[in-house]
Structure 1
Amino acid sequence: MQIAIVDDHPLFLDGLTALLTRIDQSFEITAFACGADLLASIDTADPAPALVISDLSMKPINGLALLSALRAKGFEQPFILVSGVDETLSEAELQASGAFAFVPKSADLPTLREVIFAALDTGSTSGSGGKTFKSGGGRNGSSDYQVTTLTPRQLEIMRIIVDGGTNRDIAGQLKISENTVKTHLRQIFQVLGVNKRTSCISKARSLGLI
């Protein structure tokens, strides 16, 4: 199974290559230091990669621009965006880009494994009969799968909640306002599909987030 990874940070390229090998030794990984190198290889690659994993913030071609350029070349395989900075993409942005999913580089190995195999399972992004992915993929309809990730700050809040911390405790430890805490909690509940703290903790544990 051919997988291409693109990142302008050599350490991340090496690290992700090692992680993917741990996930499945049958993966054949090709690493690219910039999007232009991948684009140049697409015309001659045989077979083309079954999946591309790319950093979102790169120069001179960022991840979104790389995805657009690949689609223009007729590349229809799944594309996963990753980022190491405190940023994310909304569902609308993912749908518009055609990316399969966005995954923070802080995600753990089980989460990365889940996303990768789900992406590989879809095959061609233009094919029919595939599942609908709420976190990306550009498909319409009801979702039967959702890639669940939390930002580093949201994970900090979850750990405090697990220890029995109140909103005031969270605000004090993280030096943010209680209103900000409430905003984060609403976002966490929405991501996990829950409406109370006990369910939130249970769901986060079941997904291996905490």
Structure 2
Amino acid sequence: MLKIILIDDHQLFLYGVSQILPLHIPNLEIFGCCSVSKAQQIIAEHGDVDLILVDLDMPDVGGLAFLSKNFQSGDVHPVAVLSASQDINIIQQVLQIGSLGFIPKTLGSADLVNAVQSILDGHIFVPADIKQQIDAIPEEDEQAFADITPRQLEVLALLSQGLSNCKIAESMFISEHTVKSHVKQLFQKLEADNRLACVTKAKDLGLLR
């Protein structure tokens, strides 16, 4: 029996996907969760989960934070993103962190099923149009992504929202000391001497919206 955890706070979407996938993928059991915390409880109970599908915009814990925590833990689970985001930089971050794919919520039911099945079959799924946009990122922006780690990109995204080090630490499940270290490295890599300058430079490089 295949097991998929679907994390999304939109109840209608959660219900719809939970109904569609088992109709087309044999021997599939779906665990629908409206929060990351609920999903973590299920993960603890079902360690043999085959795939976790998570929305980026969750009310309790951000999807990027969940991805980072998963891939930096000792017990890594297969995770892909199912999101309405159109931000190519966010999608780039998602794939760099280690996501097995990016599935737009705009896909029709047949394409959604094919995307999930492709990931279950061991492939990385990215729609062709999104892959073209990623491939078209200027070389200097690619270098910026290479120099800054996925973890630092996540800190950068939270910095741009005006969050304090304390709030960033809470969101990312790390210590405030670690956040300060990341911020310091971001300042150095982006040649900035304060948070505003750091965020402004990141936007100029295309690292942020």
Determine the C-alpha separation between the residues in 1 that align with 2:72 and 2:135: 37
Determine the C-alpha separation between the residues in 2 that align with 1:62 and 1:40: 17
How many residue pairs match? The answer is 135
Query: Which residue does 1:29 correspond to in 2?
Result: 30
1:19 to partner: Cα distance: 1.4
1:103 to partner: Cα distance: 1.4
Quick one: structure 1 residues 72 and 48, their matched pair in 2 at CA, closer, same or farther if it must change by over 3 Å?
A: farther
Query: Which residue does 1:118 correspond to in 2?
Result: 118
Query: What amino acid does structure 2 have at the position aligned with 1:42?
Result: I
Query: Which residue does 2:145 correspond to in 1?
Result: none
- Cα distance per residue 1:103-151 (max 9 Å; x no partner): 11011223222221221122xxxxxxxx6x4x6xxxxxxxxxxx32558
Determine the C-alpha separation between the residues in 2 that align with 1:38 and 1:92: 24
Query: Which residue does 2:180 correspond to in 1?
Result: none
Determine the C-alpha separation between the residues in 2 that align with 1:40 and 1:112: 26
TM (normalized to structure 2)? Answer: 0.55
Query: Structure 1: where are the runs of 5+ without partners?
Result: 123-130, 136-146, 152-185, 191-210
Quick one: structure 1 residues 188 and 33, their matched pair in 2 at CA, closer, same or farther if it must change by over 3 Å?
A: closer
Taking only aligned residues, the RMSD between alpha carbons, in angstroms, comes to 2.9
**Does the CA-based 8 Å contact 1:39-1:70 persist in structure 2?**
no
Stretch deviating more after TM superposition (2-11 or 78-87): 78-87
**Superposed structure 1 runs of 4+ greater than 6 Å apart:** none
Is residue 2:78 matched to residue 1:70? no
Query: What amino acid does structure 2 have at the position aligned with 1:40?
Result: Q
Determine the C-alpha separation between the residues in 2 that align with 1:104 and 1:29: 19
Q: Map residues 106-185 of structure 1 onto 2, 5 A cutoff.
A: 106-122=106-122, 133=124, 147-148=126-127, 150=129
Is residue 2:31 matched to residue 1:52? no
Query: Structure 2: where are the runs of 5+ without partners?
Result: 137-209
Query: Which residue does 2:19 correspond to in 1?
Result: 18
- Cα distance per residue 1:143-171 (max 9 Å; x no partner): xxxx32558xxxxxxxxxxxxxxxxxxxx
Secondary structure, counterpart of 2:106 in structure 1: coil
- Cα distance per residue 1:69-125 (max 9 Å; x no partner): 233443433211122354445664233211111111011223222221221122xxx
Determine the C-alpha separation between the residues in 2 that align with 1:89 and 1:102: 12
TM (normalized to structure 1)? Answer: 0.55
Secondary structure, counterpart of 1:77 in structure 2: coil
**Does the CA-based 8 Å contact 2:64-2:94 persist in structure 1?**
no
More helix by share: 2
